[in-house]
Amino acid sequence: MSPYGAKERHSLSLFLKQKEVSSTDVANHLGIPQRSALHLLKKWMDKDFVKMIDQSRKTRTYGLTTEWELLIEQQRMEERKQKLTQMTNKTRKQKGAEIER
């Protein structure tokens, strides 16, 4: 069983949209109170899921650890590859239809 729960997995979609998040971002994304989001972020830091990016601002920001950043980047590359394949297949079908005419 994975050591990461449903909230971590659901939060990955937030990190797909933005590299740095605040506790407010996490709270809004998960539909939980901000204090609960702060507790989650601390727990995630302890589990090496996220790291604190900037603690000097009034609102601290967090980002994925390097391991998780790499997984996100691999997912983005796979999505781009699938889009390119779909576009290529569509173009081939269109050219095949033109040749048949």
Which CATH number does the domain housing residue 57 bear? 1.10.10.10
3-class SS of residue 57: coil
37 located within any domain = yes
54 located within any domain = yes
Burial (Cβ within 10 Å: 0-12, 13-18, ≥19) of residue 41: buried
Number of folded domains that form the chain: 1
82 located within any domain = yes
pLDDT, tens digit (0-9, with 9 covering 90-100), for 24-62? 999 999 999 999 999 999 999 999 999 999 887 677 999
Q: Give me the domain span that covers residue 37.
A: 6-100
CA 12 to chain centre: 4
Dihedral angle computed from the Cα positions of residues 19, 23, 27 and 30, in that order, rounded to the nearest 10 degrees: 40
C-alpha distances out from residue 60 to 25, 34, 40, 56, 82, Å: 11, 13, 14, 7, 35
75 located within any domain = yes
1 located within any domain = no
Average pLDDT of the residues of the chain = 85
Please determine, for residue 92, whether its predicted confidence score (pLDDT) is greater than 90: no
